[in-house]
A = this chain, B = another copy of it.
Amino acid sequence: MEKKEKLNWTKKHLLGIEALSKEEILTILHQSTAFKSVLKRSIPKVPPLRGKTIAMLFCEPSTRTRSSFELAAKRLSADTLSVATSTSSFLKGETLKDTARNIEAMKVEMIVMRHGCSGAPHFLSQCVNASVINAGDGSHEHPTQALLDVFTIKEKVKKIEGLKVSIIGDIAHSRVARSNIFALTKLGAKVTVCGPKTLLPVGIEKTGAKVTSDLKEALEGADAINVLRIQLERQKEALFPTIREYTRTFGINAEVLRKYAKKEVLILHPGPINRGVELSQDVADSEFSVILDQVTNGVAVRMAVLFLLSLKK
């Protein structure tokens, strides 16, 4: 682990990638590399957060991200406390502000929050002294997902600067897409977002991302493709005609990759995969898929985030 002095970290909360500088992102990635090597030890546990309690405030269902954060916390010797779940009565009849102040009053050191409303973790961070980590808020940001995506690409290609990375799917409703665009752009990658016109948000080009509904354009020359999960419930909202139609036009399979993409293109997916919908069986399991590396790196990246934020209390 890096010495505290050298790290030069000043942030107390991780609310989104948009507010991070390139240097801060690189510090997190650097620290993640250190923790990834810890995870390979026979006793993959280090003491920096011993005696600290990290509250898990998951107001939307999530086993995947919650498990990853819990594992990261335990690998750092922290205790975790589940203060709310999507099925809990904690939030009933109580404003978010009251919830925030109650958690604050219990004197936990950090709060990992997932919430259906964009901006909820930002609001929480203004009410509490604890560090707040955004584990996904509405359609806004999912910063640790973007960090683990970028870490995974960098680990494989050795750089981010100058790469072409394409994000395919429901860009409009995706906090993963937004956080990825910020992270990749700040590190010098060229980002293309691609999906049905109804799933492309107005004004997204202001982020510096190129926007297209032509899969060929997105795939051509791409070094990495981040395939988003199709939320099947969006179809009911009539944002795309049928699943079959979506798969035919935007589904990533061996054929479209062979026709349009570079041979060694990386395939990312935030999981869980709808196999045969946004991603075909063979591509999900191909040698170019780094989907399971993303899961492994997620623990290391979240350890890095928890560790760095704990330096600034």
Residue numbers of A with Cβ under 8 A of B are: 39, 43-45, 50-53, 55, 61-64, 67-68, 70-71, 74-75, 79, 81-84, 87-90, 92-95, 98, 101-102, 104-108, 232, 271-275, 292-296, 298-299
Min CB distance A240 to B, Å, is: 17
Contacts of A79 in B (CB 8 A): 74
The one of B39, B71, B107 in contact with A44, judged by C-beta atoms closer than 8 angstroms, is B107
User: Does the CB pair A295–B51 fall under 8 Å?
Assistant: no
Complex-state Cα separation, A15 to B61, whole angstroms:
30
Q: A67-B81, A90-B63 are in contact. Are A271 and B102 (CB under 8 A)?
A: yes
Closest B residue to A281 by beta carbon equals: B95
User: Does the CB pair B272–A104 fall under 8 Å?
Assistant: no
Complex-state Cα separation, A108 to B41, whole angstroms:
12
The one of B62, B67, B88, B105 in contact with A106, judged by C-beta atoms closer than 8 angstroms, is B67
Min CB distance A139 to B, Å, is: 19
Contacts of A90 in B (CB 8 A): 63-64, 272
User: Does the CB pair B63–A84 fall under 8 Å?
Assistant: yes
Min CB distance A99 to B, Å, is: 8
User: Does the CB pair B43–A63 fall under 8 Å?
Assistant: no
Q: A45-B51, A67-B83, A273-B94 are in contact. Are A292 and B74 (CB under 8 A)?
A: no
Q: A44-B51, A51-B44, A95-B275 are in contact. Are A64 and B102 (CB under 8 A)?
A: yes
